[in-house]
Structure 1
């Protein structure tokens, strides 16, 4: 009877094109899958769940706690622009180790950084959810403290995330800060901090729309704000590239000028967030779901590029630094791609 049911189940799975995970997978890999599942659930549903819990608290017998928290949050609202509030114990959670080991996410250093200086990490590509940058710079799961002793990492995200109760406290604990110019300049101020590595996803939400497996199309030509910030602060620019980032999900095809792409662009303009559909695998099967695909992501930190401090840079000066950075990023990609990409000969960096 059991054998018959297994055969029927197998035939149905074959007809539906579902490939199930084996039952004898080691516990370590199951924990890694759990870590990746928890991460994508946090990214997709974390803010909605936090808002729901806050509303439930408001309408409960403990409504006074919601009022106290709300009052404290309003008085704490600018912390995301004032250096944040990192707790190393949160960055060291075992969950993050399992998450990074799932792909795995590997952080690679190509040059030593001076702990007495601050650095602006210009990270590419954005991908769907920037898993490489998140694992490398928002957690210690990829061994950032060991590779860069004496340095502190801060991943930059949209300021709107810090308006969500409870959720804001988690991302603040992980070292995340707002993407405002005020916030980044504060973190890079040598009078306040030394050894800060401020990681910014330069391409942003717009670049996520061009994230497709095996392709590396990035937005850089019209992105010059980060150059201006680096010049104003005098912080060195560091090109960072996550090889394999675009292979983590299989998004729906959205050609330029197509209906889906136009809808995505409008939503992005209204909300600042690109409505992507993260098609990956499931928890117990490999064929469909929102869990990221288990594929290596290697985040390579390039050599720092010294930037002369200039509080009032001209357009020509910004363009010159931008051109040099673009050159260095391209060189980093071409030099390292053979180590981390399959069929690398046919893969090229497309800069728009």
Structure 2
């Protein structure tokens, strides 16, 4: 007998309704990293040579440190040579006595290749009387002041012919002269210390002697950004006082394009990056910059500068009288003349040499 099987009916159970999940916020569209722009294989040899010259120069300081470290490591003989060198370095004060210009070194073809990479061009607004003493003010600072180094620490652009009778020492932080071997290269290239003792020594020298000061310093380097030119100048009175004490002629000098050859990580005032930079600057007198550019193999990734032109123009000289007593009014008077000279120089060439600028000159 077949008995149909029936399943008992289960009572219905009401489950509590699940709360609606909140909608997930839309993810922002993050920009993708730019694809590397590789350097083609068919780049002409002269351009490759220029790029290699810049790359070599940028690696030269660490190579000197590596070489000195190797001397300390290899043998008793090399360590003895290194010890003698350290003793020589400790007692030498060439950076405060006008450097040791070696024209053969400044005239090497290497520096022409280096200058042609950007390229760097050097112009003058007027002739300079070699019977005077000179203080050149260089603007803007940029990341490493490539235009100043190329134009005045080498003969790549024939500065000795363009400004005959002048012996201009490019000045840099004294800390650079603590690096073994690198310091001697700087001295041979006519680079001296930017401290007061060094400046006084040069300006007490022969007629035609002068110094090139990058006036904005570390504070201005933090403002470096392509398409802009912000100068830290209104608070700078020390170089005016020195000019009046020595009766030295002031020469405003502007490097159009100096700020364009590197990008810098955004560091607006108040940002963690800027706070870190300012903290280091208070302790070490220089500011670490997070800059980037190109490399040997790519056009858009690396720490080498971009191939962008720099035109350095020396302006109309401002003759300063020699004063034994200098008042604040005197300082402000000649500072005003100097700032007007910088502004006039910028206004004259900005459309020709900075056609793609984002903003005009700002003097802070």
TM-score after normalising by structure 2: 0.87
Q: Is the 8 A contact 2:281 2:287 kept in 1?
A: yes
For residues 338 and 114 of structure 1, what CA distance do their matches in structure 2 show? 29
Q: 1:185 aligns with which of 196, 200, 211?
A: 200
Aligned residue in 1 for 2:84? 68
Deviations 1:289-318 (A, max 9, x none): 011000000001001100011133122211
Q: How far 1:97 moved relative to its partner?
A: 0.7
Cα distance in structure 2, aligned partners of 1:15 and 1:149: 50
**Structure having the higher Rg:** 2
CA distance in 1, matches of 2:137, 2:34: 43
Pairing partner for 2:98 from 70, 83, 86: 83
Preserved CA contact (<8 Å) 2:227 2:356: no
1:48-105 deviation line (CA, Å, top 9, x unaligned): 44344334323422222122212222221x2211111111112112221111000000
- The answer as to whether partners of 1:233 and 1:311 remain within 8 angstroms in 2 is no
1:126-161, Cα deviation, whole Å (9 max, x unpaired): 000101111111111122122112222211001111
Q: RMSD in angstroms over aligned alpha carbons?
A: 1.6
The residue that corresponds to 1:5 in the other structure is: none
Deviation at 1:272, TM superposition (A): 1.6
Partner of 1:247: 260
* 1:304 alignment counterpart: 317
Distance in 2 of aligned mates of 1:97 and 1:281 = 20
Cα gap change, 1:322/1:49 in structure 2, threshold over 3 Å: closer, same or farther?
Answer: same
Question: What is the alpha-carbon distance in structure 2 between the residues aligned to residue 16 and residue 85 of structure 1?
Answer: 46
Q: Which runs of 5+ in 2 are unaligned?
A: 1-31
Query: Equivalent of 1:223, from 236, 256, 268?
Result: 236
Segments of structure 1 that go 5 or more residues without pairing to the other structure are 1-13
Change (3 A) 1:317 1:55: same
Structure 1 or 2: larger helix share? 1
1:195 and 2:208 matched: yes
Once residues 228 and 313 of structure 1 are traced to their aligned partners in structure 2, the CA distance between those partners, rounded to angstroms, is 7
Q: Look up the match of 2:304.
A: 291
- Number of residue equivalences: 331
- TM-score (structure 1 length as normaliser): 0.90
| Range that drifts further, 127-136 or 334-343 | 334-343
Q: How does 1:161-180 map to 2 (within 5 A)?
A: 161-180=176-195
> Structure 1 residues 250, 61: CA separation in 2 closer, same or farther (over 3 Å shift)?
same
Distance in 2, matches of 1:236 and 1:150, equals: 15
Secondary structure class of the residue paired with 1:310: coil
| Counterpart contact for 2:277–2:287, Cα < 8 Å | yes
The aligned runs of 1:35-114 (5 Å cut-off) are 35-42=53-60, 46=61, 48-59=62-73, 60-62=75-77, 63-76=79-92, 78-114=93-129
SS of aligned partner of 1:292:
coil
Residue 277 (str. 1) matches residue 277 (str. 2): no
Q: CA deviation at 1:16?
A: 5.9
Q: Name the residue aligned to 2:247.
A: 234
Greater than 4 Å deviation, 4+ residue runs: none
Residues 134-173 of structure 1: pairs in structure 2 closer than 5 A = 134-173=149-188
CA shift in 2, pair 1:90/1:311, >3 Å: farther
Show the counterpart of 1:6.
Answer: none
Report the secondary structure of 2:250's partner residue. strand
Counterpart secondary structure, 1:183: helix
How far did 1:38 drift?
1.8
Q: 1:317 to 1:131 in 2, by over 3 A?
A: same
SS of 1:316's equivalent in the other structure is: helix
SS in 2 for 1:260: helix
Q: Secondary structure at the match of 1:53?
A: helix
